[in-house]
Amino acid sequence: MSVTPSLLDRSLRPLHRWVWAERGRRARKLLRFAETERSGGREIARAAECTSDPILRRLLLRHAQDEERHAELFGARGRALRKGAPSSQLEANWLAPGERGLDELRADRLSERALLAFLHLSEKAAARRFALYRQVLGADPETSAVFAEVLADEEFHMTYTRTQLERVATGRRGRALWRARGARIWKAYLRLAAALAGLLGHLVLTIQYFVLVPPFALLARRAARRERAGWHSAEARPAADLEGQY
Amino acid sequence: MRILGISAHYHDSAAALLVDGVPVAAVQEERLSRRKNDAAFPLAAIEWCLERGGLEPDELDAVVFYEKPMLKFDRILTTLLRAFPHSCRAFAQAMKNTVGEKIWVKGIIASRLGVPARKILFTQHHQAHAAAAFFTAPTRQAAILTADGVGEWATLTVGRGQRPADGPCRLELLREVRFPHSLGMLYSTFTAYLGFPVNEGEYKVMGLASYGKPVYAAEVRRLVPRTADGAFSLALEYFEFHTTARRSYSSRFLELFGPARDPLDPIDLDTAEGRRFADVAASVQLVLEELLIDLARALRRELDLPDLCLGGGVALNGCANARLLAESGFERLFVPPAPGDAGCALGAALVADRLHFGNPDRQLPDHPFWGPEVATADLARLADEDGLACHQVEEGALVDEVVEALASGAVVGWMEGAGELGPRALGHRSLLAAPHDAQMRDRLNLRIKRREEFRPFAPAVPAELADRYFQLPPGGVRLGRFMSGVFPVRPEWRPRLQAVTHVDGTARVQTVDATMAPRFHALLHAYGRRSGIPVLLNTSFNLAGEPIVSRAVEGYSTFRRSDMDLLVVGNALVRKARARTVERREAAE
């Protein structure tokens, strides 16, 4: 199976080239990818522990080992690039993420069918992204080779998840995949909604902080000045009084 | 009387069930959810404890939470107010966290468990630490010292406990040091500065410290000046943990110690920068030890009691514990197997039982094995499904077979009985290996545990033979019972105990008592007969970033994903060789 980057990613190729051009950033991104792969591997191992299907368990365990190996590959290359490279804080992960999604997997809460569909879509998305990164990293053949090696595994993961999905959801593979796509969209919506709600909450609390808090802050600071450091008596509260929350 | 203790919402949530004054079950949520340091409300742990006790929630007499949520909220709010206007970002975040969930503990417990609100009780955080340390220790009266990051307001307390044979128990906390002045936060700030995750990487700081020299000790002492009354304070201009959530150290801290380590950079001890980090770690370790010893000496003089019970996360620092035992003047030092927040679930239940309800004292079993039991049949089923040979053998033959494997360089996953409460694997969920070669340490660090190469491994030795191999002070065997102390390896044995001897010649010894872990004890003796040294490398049965395994399937999964050679679950034994063949065939298909 040959994996090609998505149309959107292909149209953003110059941007991706820019993201990966700087050595320091490249190193940071690879080290971050290593963390993501490792965390994804743990979740897949958890899925293997939860399933009662022995074939699936063996494949998931191998998948988990692959993720660990990817983490080592990315980590080793990241560390090699980092030596002597200028430090870059910007990672641009919003544009060029790693294997996004696996660290959101809650294997113990998914059916085998849902799990396989989710994994298949995640692996496919990751494979398409890694195919693009391999292309834009032409000037760094060693990093490109790392992506090529990881990509080969991703293709295997795409294949086995599809085959196993066909096995466990006989004749209903398409439906499972569409449900997984729907779940991904719903999760993305929830993430966006939570981020927006968080932002609004933050804004309201910040306004309150500057409008309501100052007089109390003044009192608290005055009280703090009177408070001495060192020992304080701990006997004020009776040890056996467990009914109060204060 | 049936009492459920709960700790949650900060790190290491857990549940413990006490029936008629004795624990029947206790487990950390992470062991069931499989999320390391899981801080979520421990529903799975609670369900398991109740199932183990054969109880429904409405049969409980009390549910005890390990701290007072409103008092904690008071501290958070007051601290933020004091830091105005620098606490702007932290304020919004803290309000969302606390008002969003953490102060509604009573409602959460009532709704999740369906117990009436009147049955829900709250201990003070350090009271729970103190109870977990004192009521589980085999002593009738003792001084108590607890130290951690922070509970409600208290960060360190001293007190005393009494368990008379014929009267009510007493546990008095006499004095406390309050937030933001905190030894736990001091150590955690350095943990963050050294690029390790807080609440998890403190072990790494301790391990790294052995590679350095305390050349920054004077600078660290400036951060934590002593007060006239014998306590300490933090020089707050060097810290930011009390004002922002962004980082815990200030720019002045960086002026003093230099740039912080980027967590993405490995520590290379061959470089000047790597040695600087090791020196900083050694310095904070030294200052922490000095402070604890001084506080303990004063307590010894004040209370004139021979025993000290130590609780709180700081009590996980084995180097400090060993120095406390040797230099504080106390004759015996008791550290429970779970001195951190997980143990507070048990501590909270004990406070309710002994102090609130006034029940008489009961001698508690002196072991950490309160978690889920492992099932041999599960391993047999898994192995059978994967076409692996699973031998079920009688005890003696199993020990012999494992000893042969260990002697030939195998790494063995060893699971038996109930899992441990607390962060240490003490022989029921352990990875075992021969302790002789440094290559074994490197293999375990790099290929199995996948962690930093500077981190040491612990030895396990039969308690009655410990003194032959390790320089234990009086009381050292007791401290080693739950792997709570770091002691020198006797120089003549270091060449043959390379895998468990740290760079400074020390080891975090587990002294295995035959009554606590008879089978593990027998294994050590059998290994001694085979190799001449009854010592094994004992590390927790998990991979980096994962909690210690609990059920057989988790042990099996870890076995398959790592470079281990042999897995033992109860009386069943599986080797790796054939597993690879099956796996390769399936992958090819």
Q: What pLDDT digit, counting tens, does each position of B156-195 carry?
A: 999 999 999 888 999 999 999 999 999 999 999 999 999 9
Strands (E), B269-374: 307-311, 332-334, 369-373
Closest CA to B402 of B583, B564, B552: B564
- The verdict on whether omega for the bond into residue B85 sits within 30 degrees of 0, i.e. cis, is yes
The mean pLDDT value for A31-49 works out to: 92
User: A228 or A193: which carries more pLDDT confidence?
Assistant: A193
B175 part of a folded domain: no
**Chain A window 84-143: which residues touch B at a Cβ cutoff of 8 Å?**
87, 108
Q: What is the ipTM of this complex?
A: 0.88
A167 and A51 in contact (C-beta within 8 Å)?
Answer: no
Angstrom distance (rounded) from CA B200 to CA B217? 23
B118 part of a folded domain: yes
Instruction: Please indicate, yes or no, whether residues B439 and B357 belong to a single structural domain of this protein.
Output: no
Instruction: Indicate which CATH number applies to the domain containing B28.
Output: 3.30.420.40
For residue A152, the distance in angstroms to the closest alpha carbon of chain B comes to 13
Angstrom distance (rounded) from CA A131 to CA B148? 48
B254 part of a folded domain: yes
Highest-confidence range of A216-220, B244-248, B293-297, by mean pLDDT? B293-297
User: A88 or B540: which carries more pLDDT confidence?
Assistant: B540
Number of separate helices (H) and strands (E) present in chain B: 21, 22
Instruction: Indicate which CATH number applies to the domain containing B383.
Output: 3.90.870.20
Q: In what order do the strands lie in the sheet with A231-233?
A: A231-233, B170-178, B154-162, B141-147, B307-311, B332-334
Phi and psi (nearest 5°) for B433? -155, 165
Closest in A46, A58, A87 to B34, CB measured: A46
Instruction: Please indicate, yes or no, whether residues B474 and B493 belong to a single structural domain of this protein.
Output: yes
- Bridge partners, residue B585, by sequence: none
Instruction: Please indicate, yes or no, whether residues B441 and B521 belong to a single structural domain of this protein.
Output: yes
CATH number among 1.20.1260.10, 2.80.10.50, 1.10.3210.10, 3.40.50.970, domain A7-170: 1.20.1260.10
Angstrom distance (rounded) from CA B243 to CA B86? 6
pLDDT of residue B261: 94
Instruction: Indicate which CATH number applies to the domain containing B258.
Output: 3.30.420
Question: CA-nearest residue of chain A to B177?
Answer: A231
Angstrom distance (rounded) from CA A198 to CA A192? 10
pLDDT of residue A12: 85
A243 touches chain B (CB under 8 A): yes
pLDDT of residue A108: 76
Query: Is residue A187 pLDDT above 90, yes or no?
Result: no
Domain of B44, in residue numbers: 2-136+340-362
Question: How many CB contacts within 8 angstroms connect chain A with chain B?
Answer: 162
Coil, strand or helix at B249: strand
* Cβ–Cβ gap A233/B85 under 8 Å: no
B538 and B430 in contact (C-beta within 8 Å)?
Answer: yes
Number of domains making up chain B: 3
Helix%, strand%, coil% for chain B, nearest 5: 45, 20, 35
Coil, strand or helix at B34: coil
Query: Is residue A176 pLDDT above 80, yes or no?
Result: yes
- Least confident window among B217-221, B316-320, B383-387, B413-417: B383-387
The percentage of residues in chain A with a pLDDT greater than 70, rounded to a whole number, is 89
Q: How many Cα atoms within 13 Å fall on the side-chain side of residue B40?
A: 15
C-alpha distances out from residue B91 to B97, B185, B221, B363, Å: 10, 19, 30, 46
B142 part of a folded domain: no
Residue A95, Cβ neighbours under 10 Å: how many? Answer: 12
Instruction: Please indicate, yes or no, whether residues B324 and B391 belong to a single structural domain of this protein.
Output: no
Query: Is residue B313 pLDDT above 70, yes or no?
Result: yes
**With 0-12 CB in 10 A as exposed, 13-18 as middle and 19+ as buried, what is B358?**
exposed
Residue B218, Cβ neighbours under 10 Å: how many? Answer: 10
Query: Is residue B328 pLDDT above 60, yes or no?
Result: yes
Query: Is residue B509 pLDDT above 60, yes or no?
Result: yes
B286 and B205 in contact (C-beta within 8 Å)?
Answer: no
Instruction: Please indicate, yes or no, whether residues B346 and B465 belong to a single structural domain of this protein.
Output: no
pLDDT of residue A100: 58
* Cβ–Cβ gap B175/A231 under 8 Å: yes
Angstrom distance (rounded) from CA B462 to CA B511? 6
Helices B69-82, A213-226: axis angle to 10 degrees equals: 90
Closest in B33, B105, B233 to A230, CB measured: B233
* Cβ–Cβ gap B81/A217 under 8 Å: yes
The mean pLDDT value for B56-79 works out to: 95
B10 part of a folded domain: yes
pLDDT single digits (tens) A229-239? 899 998 656 66
Angstrom distance (rounded) from CA A245 to CA A241? 10
Mean pLDDT, chain B, integer: 94
For residue A8, the distance in angstroms to the closest alpha carbon of chain B comes to 31
**pTM greater than 0.90 (yes/no):** yes
Tokens 């199995």 belong to residue: B448
Query: Is residue B586 pLDDT above 80, yes or no?
Result: no
pLDDT single digits (tens) B471-490? 999 999 999 999 999 999 99
Instruction: Please indicate, yes or no, whether residues B30 and B118 belong to a single structural domain of this protein.
Output: yes
A152 touches chain B (CB under 8 A): no
- Least confident window among B11-15, B245-249, B497-501: B245-249
C-alpha distances out from residue B72 to B75, B84, B95, B123, B240, Å: 5, 19, 12, 12, 19
Mean pLDDT, chain A, integer: 87
pLDDT of residue B284: 98
One-letter amino acid identity for A9? D
pLDDT of residue A172: 83
Residue B538, Cβ neighbours under 10 Å: how many? Answer: 29
A182 touches chain B (CB under 8 A): no
Instruction: Please indicate, yes or no, whether residues B436 and B387 belong to a single structural domain of this protein.
Output: yes
Instruction: Please indicate, yes or no, whether residues B206 and B346 belong to a single structural domain of this protein.
Output: no
Instruction: Please indicate, yes or no, whether residues B346 and B388 belong to a single structural domain of this protein.
Output: no
Closest in A58, A206, A230 to B229, CB measured: A230
Closest in B352, B561, B582 to A68, CB measured: B561
Phi and psi (nearest 5°) for A170? -45, 120
Tokens 């009914």 belong to residue: A243
Instruction: Please indicate, yes or no, whether residues B20 and B122 belong to a single structural domain of this protein.
Output: yes
- Least confident window among A93-107, B136-150, B286-300: A93-107
Query: Is residue B584 pLDDT above 60, yes or no?
Result: no
Q: How far is CA A154 from the centre of its chain?
A: 16
Instruction: Please indicate, yes or no, whether residues B348 and B377 belong to a single structural domain of this protein.
Output: no
B150 part of a folded domain: no
Closest CA to B512 of B459, B456, B475: B459
pLDDT of residue B49: 98
pLDDT single digits (tens) B95-142? 988 887 888 999 999 999 999 999 999 999 999 999 999 999 999 999
pLDDT of residue B342: 96
* Cβ–Cβ gap B266/A64 under 8 Å: no
* Cβ–Cβ gap A230/B123 under 8 Å: no
Handedness of CA B246, B248, B250, B251 (dihedral sign): negative
Closest CA to B448 of B555, B543, B554: B543
Give B293's pLDDT tier (boundaries 50, 70, 90): very high
Closest CA to B275 of B214, B362, B195: B214
Instruction: Please indicate, yes or no, whether residues B446 and B376 belong to a single structural domain of this protein.
Output: yes
Query: Is residue A93 pLDDT above 90, yes or no?
Result: no
Give A5's pLDDT tier (boundaries 50, 70, 90): confident
For residue B486, the distance in angstroms to the closest alpha carbon of chain A comes to 29
**What ranges do the domains of chain A cover?**
7-170
